[in-house]
Structure 1
């Protein structure tokens, strides 16, 4: 009797495959974050990260090119989300108001329901602290920050109908806004982690409220 052909393997729905890939990616980021903070970035290997999620090194490299990329993944996603928020702001808002609303919306949306895991507020801010003390990561992060400032400059210029090559205000604002955000992020400390996204938003607001007085105000009594 002829052997029956083997039944074809069940085909996963595209949505199911995408969710499974996202879960694996998130698990790798979370494992890397835990290992980096626990034993240091330099001492952590790709094999350790993959092993913590019970996947192969080959699987790791399907998602990330190297350790730097997985370390910066949470911040890269947050930065991309901020750009999306900025592009969606109403045209009648002035540039600084649009930037401010975009960063607040980004933190609030990404923090909603994410009290733990690689996308949580605490995870992102702990990573910022680690990046600032790891030269290779800081260099890669600053390159991305520079690129984001260029993108913000172009978005603001387009919103205002300006040529950024002739009018320097979009570039100046993008640089100043980025600097204020970095100062706010670096002023966060572990004892503020229970405040969640609203605590970070309040910290950013405090820094942005001082932007005008710091630039044009008289500091001495």
Structure 2
């Protein structure tokens, strides 16, 4: 995988940034408003009438800008669909990058998730309403074309995180399987809880966080301990 994947699609998230990185100049703020307007309108259309049925023309007409303006901010409809997901993933990775070196790999990933959750609601709200993000997640999970892309992107994210963990531990990810094994288990839990959250009745970020943290807390015991309620004979 290309190493630039580890920077989490900086090209696609240009202009979003964290609260401290939000544009301050008049021209920069205007560009940010245009980008956010395109993003919000696109996601509203995707979630109400369907991703496949929505055209770039419909998005630009609603915002009253040209197609050229749209493609100045987004390379494709697909990029718009995943823009907020990208931002959420980037929050996690940046939190992981700054975890103390003394933390073990799983501990570092677990704490990075917690740190990202502390600010993710505010970051999402700066781009789109949280409710719209929730509906977008459901839309991605229920749209075959987008789900296939989501799985591919998840695999790329997994590889990037494995390389980051390997770097923290001073390992060669191509000769030592442990970083990929650990990250595969960790990210699988995140995918499972995301799917369950999307299928549930409580679509709040708080519910998503609680479900994710509960499942992550069970990861170690699920792998290392017996699940049997009775005595098990071991050789």
Counterpart in 1 of 2:134? 125
The answer to whether the 8 A contact 2:173-2:180 is kept is yes
| Aligned positions of 1:117-156 closer than 5 A | 118=128, 120=130, 122-156=131-165
Counterpart in 1 of 2:5? none
Counterpart in 2 of 1:89? 99
Counterpart in 1 of 2:38? 28
* Cα drift, residue 213 of structure 1: 2.6
Match of 1:208 among 197, 216, 222: 216
Higher relative contact order (CA 8 A, sep 6+): 2
The answer to whether the 8 A contact 2:92-2:116 is kept is yes
- 114 and 146 in structure 1: CA distance in 2 versus 1, 3 angstrom threshold: closer
Number of residue pairs matched by the alignment = 206
- The answer on 1:101 being equivalent to 2:130 is no
Runs of 4+ off more than 3 Å:
113-117, 122-125
* Cα drift, residue 94 of structure 1: 1.2
The answer to whether the 8 A contact 1:81-1:106 is kept is yes
Q: SS at 1:219's partner residue?
A: coil
**Structure (1 or 2) with the larger CA radius of gyration:** 1
* Cα drift, residue 53 of structure 1: 1.5
Q: CA RMSD in A?
A: 2.1
State the TM-score, normalizing by the size of structure 2. Answer: 0.80
- The answer on 1:170 being equivalent to 2:179 is yes
* Unaligned runs of at least 5 residues, structure 2: 1-22, 230-235
User: How far apart, CA to CA, are the structure 1 residues paired with 2:125 and 2:86?
Assistant: 19
* Cα drift, residue 38 of structure 1: 0.6
* Cα drift, residue 160 of structure 1: 1.1
* Unaligned runs of at least 5 residues, structure 1: 1-12
State the TM-score, normalizing by the size of structure 1. Answer: 0.84
The answer to whether the 8 A contact 1:50-1:57 is kept is yes
User: How far apart, CA to CA, are the structure 2 residues paired with 1:80 and 1:54?
Assistant: 30
Counterpart in 2 of 1:80? 90
